[in-house]
Structure formats: C-alpha cells, structure tokens
Chain A
Amino acid sequence: GAVVSQHPSRVICKSGTSVKIECRSLDFQATTMFWYRQFPKQSLMLMATSNEGSKATYEQGVEKDKFLINHASLTLSTLTVTSAHPEDSSFYICSASAGSGETQYFGPGTRLLVL
C-alpha cells in the first residue's frame, strides 16, 4: 500500500510552546489529508480535513487558531499545535487520500507530551 510518513514520531515540549508535526505522502499525490487525535485507550477522532491549496475544514469543537494546518503541496501537510498545554498531550495521526472515496493511508503517528 501507499506510504505516509510523519515527523517527528515523538515530541516532548514545555507548556506554552508550539509544536509542528509533518505528514508526507511518499509515493502518491494526496489531494486530501486528514488529521486525527487519539487519547489513550480511545478511538481516533477526526480533527480537520485539508485539501491542497485550500483552508482546512475543522470538526466541531476543534479550535482552528490552536491547531494550524497547512497543506501547501500534494505531498505535505503540517499541523502546528500552538501554545500547547498538557491537555493537548495525545497521539496525532495523519492520513492521506488520493481522491474522494479512496482509501486513506495513515501515518505512523506522533506522540505529543506537553509538560
């Protein structure tokens, strides 16, 4: 299957700092990328959908000013957690899709710990 990478795989930061997470589709062009969050022992929850060259669409309850998403190319989307707080500690997973209704391929996830 298609390969999606995320960087970093793990990050620890101090409260109040910003953290950027990258999501790359390595062998296909992803017209759409998605960002999910997973708290321990819970399922994945969609945070936002980003289409290349467009503003991201955020799910209800997700603060767009706190979770900045940029999808500047067909192979790269970034999620920036601004002014991170301990409650933002979670597993952030991106996925990429080549088109509407097509399989979403997931990245390996980024574990964020905010102290």
Chain B
Amino acid sequence: SQQGEEDPQALSIQEGENATMNCSYKTSINNLQWYRQNSGRGLVHLILIRSNEREKHSGRLRVTLDTSKKSSSLLITASRAADTASYFCATDGRGGADGLTFGKGTHLIIQP
C-alpha cells in the first residue's frame, strides 16, 4: 500500500497567498517529515514532527499531524516565487532506523 500520499498533486497559487498541502499515510509512524525538492535537485529538509506532537512551526511553515486520521498538512504562508518546488512528506513507520517512505509529492507553482 502507498504510504505518504500527498494531495493535491499540483497546486498553482499567486504570490503572497497561502499554500496548503496534505499528506496521508497508512501505518504507525515515529515521525513525519516534509522535504522540498527543486527541479532536478536534491532534497531540502523542511521540518520533522514527531508522533506525539500535533503542530510545529518553522518560519513561514506550519505543520500539523493528526495520528488518529493518519494525516499531516504543510502550510506555507505568504508564498514567494522561490517556494516553487515539489514538496514531499516522508514517514519512517518502521522504528526510525529504516529508510523513509515518500509520498508522490505536490508540485507547487507560485505565480509572480
């Protein structure tokens, strides 16, 4: 089964607006992470939220985690053109010592 599925798959908004991306997963997790990937480049770690946390902030980023619904959301406030990228959630549902399971990602486009 697919772990960490994001929606929407693509999102286009105007600069200055807020962008919300959602992620769902199927198994128990220790933590959930969000990453950004610019086209053809490596991953940039954005934020990690542990299973006992419900909300976390980092700059313009706000992440929520609802373990009862097995879902997470990433909110980017006051979006900028430089935020254009693909965003992936990733879970570590096998004890934390194993690799991450990535969702399919949301491709975010910020229109200037």
- Which A residues form the contact surface with B (CB < 8 A)? 1, 6, 32, 34, 36, 42-46, 48-49, 57, 59, 91, 93, 95, 100-109, 111
Q: Does B60 contact A (CB under 8 A)?
A: no
CB nearest neighbor in A for B48: A103
Q: Are A111 and B42 in contact (CB under 8 A)?
A: no
The size of the chain B interface, using a CB distance under 8 A, is 25
A34 CB contact (under 8 Å) in B33, B35, B99, B104: B99
The residues of A that contact B45 with a CB separation of less than 8 Å are: 1, 103-106
Distance (whole angstroms) from the CB of A105 to the closest CB of chain B? 6
Residue numbers in B under 8 Å from A100 (CB-CB): 95-97
A34 to B90, CA, bound (A): 14
Main secondary structure of the interface of B (DSSP, over half): loop
* B111 surroundings in chain A (CB, below 8 A): none
Chain A residues closer than 8 Å to B14, beta-carbon distance:
none
Q: Does B102 make an interface contact (CB < 8 A)?
A: yes
5 additional contacts, CB 8 Å, given A45-B102, A108-B42? A34-B100, A44-B90, A48-B99, A100-B96, A109-B42
B18 within 8 A of A: no
Q: Which of A6, A49, A101 is in CB contact (< 8 Å) with B99?
A: A49
Chain B residues, Cβ within 8 Å of A42: 104
Q: Which residues of B contact A (CB under 8 A)?
A: 30-31, 33, 35, 40-45, 48, 88, 90, 92, 95-105
In the docked arrangement, what's the CA distance between A113 and B58, Å?
Answer: 37
Determine if A101 and B96 form an interchain contact, defined as CB atoms under 8 angstroms apart.
yes
| C-alpha spacing A107/B33, complex, angstroms | 16
Distance of B80 from chain A, by nearest CB (Å): 20
- Pick the 10 closest A-B CB pairs, nearest first: A101-B96, A46-B99, A108-B42, A106-B43, A100-B97, A34-B99, A43-B102, A44-B102, A109-B42, A100-B96
